Chains A and B, each alone.
Chain A
Amino acid sequence: LAKTTQPISMDSYEGQEVNITCSHNNIATNDYITWYQQFPSQGPRFIIQGYKTKVTNEVASLFIPADRKSSTLSLPRVSLSDTAVYYCLVGVLIYNQGGKLIFGQGTELSVKP
């Protein structure tokens, strides 16, 4: 079964760039890579998604190397409000073809003033 591995925790300071890497050695050809943010007592919230190369939106960038066996979420200039748990999700579900969705264990990011 595919496994998704992330660092358990990371510390940063306000204004710094934070990079969180997820390892997914068994990623399948059809799998997508998605990152979610979760605050205490809330459901996860979508940050960014990609399939290969680099994706950027207004809050983050996602870097995916050519072999797709890992991915890196980049948060530019973090603030105290970015303190949360970040999850990597790998997989895809396709009607009549099955599939899988595997979350990593989550990275607890602590941003300090």
Chain B
Amino acid sequence: NAGVTQTPKFRVLKTGQSMTLLCAQDMNHEYMYWYRQDPGMGLRLIHYSVGEGTTAKGEVPDGYNVSRLKKQNFLLGLESAAPSQTSVYFCASSYSSSGAYEQYFGPGTRLTVT
């Protein structure tokens, strides 16, 4: 039982490049989330999904897109990376509506945009 895994762990992009971050969970959770964490700002919700085929915007969705084609996977895309997107990205999942349920977090992806 791996819990929540994220791929890749580290990535360096040049401005304007695109990339996709992959999140996978093996707990059969309905809800999945993408957060970014910047120094002194806590975690901020980018997008979330309440089930396969559904996505919704969080607090800071601009510049990101997401897809949930399979229940166990949640993808975060950056179409044209900008230095302001340099951050640590965390994926999480929960059994049902959060914050009424515990979120399980992945280990994070450290992204640097130069």
Contact = CB atoms under 8 A, between A and B. Distances in A.
Interface of A: 1, 4, 31-34, 36, 41-46, 49, 87, 89-95, 98-106
Interface in B41-61: 41-45, 48, 50-51, 56, 58-59
Contacts of B45: 100-101
Contact of A49 (B58, B59, B99): B99
Given A42-B108, A44-B90, A93 B44 contact: no
Q: How large is the interface on B (under 10, 10 to 19, 20 to 34, 35 or more residues)?
A: 20 to 34
A102 B58 CA distance: 10
Interface of B: prevailing SS:
loop
Nearest to A94: B97
B56 A91 contact: no
B97 A101 contact: no
Contacts of B44: 103
